[in-house]
């Protein structure tokens, strides 16, 4: 069976508006035992851009017992802080850091993006987190090659884009780089197109389905399980991006998930039970038993 890197961008659980390390670790260990390889801290699903540096470091410390399986997203609008986080990541000997490019501000020069990644990766090998829709910058294969030429230590890229041509170009034109898909809908494609792995927010609640996609990627059941996951991801979007994932984790895994941080508001009781009802209808449609 083909093994790709399975990376779970963990939700960040809050209790009374503080990061709840104990819930975070229990959830992280549960998905790890469920067969996922890497735990990705402070990604989009983990509300990374809303976490302060001390909060991200608190999470890093909470997972200090399993360093080989941890990736810390340390990209920010303050390169000095990002570098400090990468230094800490190195101390903990984790697998590597990931980094969003600078975001929000328009007009960042291409050479500044190159410098940002080059400087950061002097501390720790970097997985570029490419999410053009939200950051405003598309880190294409030619930019990655420029970063590498400038001495950057880039070990991978996480492509949160539906532009498969860009993803395949990176695979084709950048030597020795791991290319990971980001959208929940592209797990099966990662297998079928010979990519290196996938990062899927849906794996927080759907890691068992992800394993079924892995086991069946070369036959029709692979499509069926991917479609099941797509329908669940669509429900997550309908009930409230990211916030709904906390409820879906509890519904599907039975493990406590804590709360999101506002302005990602917790689902009301009514919404949660309507979501659960719709999830059950999807399970039934695909003949999937929890
Ligand atoms: C993250 C991910 C998953 C994303 C996707 C964006 O950091 O949460 O690609 O869920 O909404 O990598």
Instruction: Report how far ligand 1's centroid is from the alpha carbon of 158 (Å).
Output: 9
Which atom of ligand 1 is nearest the CA belonging to 202?
Answer: 10
Which residue CA neighbors atom 10 of ligand 1 most closely? Answer: 201
2 has a pLDDT exceeding 90: no
Which atom of ligand 1 is nearest the CA belonging to 131?
Answer: 9
CA nearest neighbour of 45 among 236, 222, 173, 289: 236
CA dist., res. 20 & res. 144, Å (int) = 36
Q: Which residues line ligand 1 (CB under 6 A)?
A: 9, 43-45, 158, 160, 182, 199, 201
Structure-token pair, residue 228: 């099941």
- What's the pTM value of the predicted model, to 2 decimals? 0.96
Which atom of ligand 1 is nearest the CA belonging to 129?
Answer: 12
Does residue 158 have an active-site annotation? yes
CA nearest neighbour of 276 among 254, 59, 5: 254
pLDDT at 270: 98
Distances (CA, A) of 44 to 58, 74, 194, 209: 17, 12, 25, 21
Instruction: Report how far ligand 1's centroid is from the alpha carbon of 240 (Å).
Output: 15
Structure-token pair, residue 209: 């389905």
Selected catalytic residue, list 149, 158, 256, 284? 158
- The predicted-structure confidence for 176-204, as pLDDT tens digits, reads as follows 999 999 999 999 999 999 999 999 999 99
Which atom of ligand 1 is nearest the CA belonging to 183?
Answer: 9
Q: Bin 199: left if φ > 0, else alpha if -120 < ψ < 50, else beta.
A: beta
Instruction: Report how far ligand 1's centroid is from the alpha carbon of 23 (Å).
Output: 20
pLDDT at 1: 58
Q: Give the mean pLDDT of the chain.
A: 97
Instruction: Report how far ligand 1's centroid is from the alpha carbon of 180 (Å).
Output: 11
Mean pLDDT over 135-141 rounds to 98
- The predicted-structure confidence for 75-102, as pLDDT tens digits, reads as follows 999 999 999 999 999 999 999 999 999 9
Which residue CA neighbors atom 9 of ligand 1 most closely? Answer: 182
- The predicted-structure confidence for 19-38, as pLDDT tens digits, reads as follows 999 999 999 999 999 999 99
Helix (H) or strand (E) holding 247: helix 243-253
Which atom of ligand 1 is nearest the CA belonging to 241?
Answer: 11
CA nearest neighbour of 158 among 185, 131, 136, 188: 131
229 has a pLDDT exceeding 70: yes
What residues contact residue 26 under an 8 Å CB cut-off, 6+ apart?
255, 256
Instruction: Report how far ligand 1's centroid is from the alpha carbon of 70 (Å).
Output: 16
> How many C-beta atoms surround the C-beta of residue 155 within 10 A?
17
Angle formed at CA 3 by CA 190 and CA 187, multiple of 5 degrees? 25
State which of 74, 129, 131, 210 you would mutate to test the pocket of ligand 1, scoring each by most atoms of that ligand within 8 A of its C-beta. 131
- To the nearest whole percent, how much of the chain has pLDDT over 90? 99
State which of 158, 179, 182 you would mutate to test the pocket of ligand 1, scoring each by most atoms of that ligand within 8 A of its C-beta. 182
pLDDT at 3: 87
Instruction: Report how far ligand 1's centroid is from the alpha carbon of 33 (Å).
Output: 21
């Amino acid at each position: 069976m083909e093994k790709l890197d399975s990376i779970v961008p963990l939700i960040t659980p809050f209790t009374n508006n503080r990061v709840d390390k104990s819930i975070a670790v229990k959830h992280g260990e549960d998905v790890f035992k469920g067969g996922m390889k890497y735990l990705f801290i402070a990604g989009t699903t983990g509300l990374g851009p809303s976490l302060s540096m001390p909060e991200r470091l608190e999470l890093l410390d909470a997972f200090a017992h399993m360093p080989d399986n941890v990736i810390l997203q340390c990209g920010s609008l303050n390169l000095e802080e990002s570098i400090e986080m990468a230094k800490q990541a190195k101390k903990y000997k984790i697998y590597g850091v990931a980094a969003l490019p600078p975001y929000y501000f328009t007009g960042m020069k291409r050479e500044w993006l190159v410098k940002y990644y080059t400087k950061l990766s002097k501390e720790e090998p970097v997985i570029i987190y490419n999410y053009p829709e939200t950051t405003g910058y598309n880190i294409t294969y030619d930019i990655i090659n420029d970063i590498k030429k400038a001495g950057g230590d880039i070990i991978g890229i996480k492509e949160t884009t539906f532009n498969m041509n860009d993803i395949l170009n990176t695979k084709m034109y950048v030597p020795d780089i791991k290319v990971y898909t980001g959208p929940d809908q592209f797990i099966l494609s990662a297998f079928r197109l010979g990519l290196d792995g996938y990062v899927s927010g849906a794996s927080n609640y759907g890691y068992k389905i992800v394993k079924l996609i892995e086991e069946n990627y070369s036959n029709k059941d692979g499509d069926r399980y991917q479609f099941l996951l797509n329908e669940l991801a669509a429900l997550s979007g309908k009930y409230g991006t990211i916030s709904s994932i906390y409820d879906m984790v509890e519904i599907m895994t039975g493990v406590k998930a804590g709360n999101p941080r506002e302005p990602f508001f917790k689902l009301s009781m009514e919404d949660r039970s309507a979501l659960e009802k719709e999830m059950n209808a999807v399970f039934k449609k695909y003949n999937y038993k929890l």
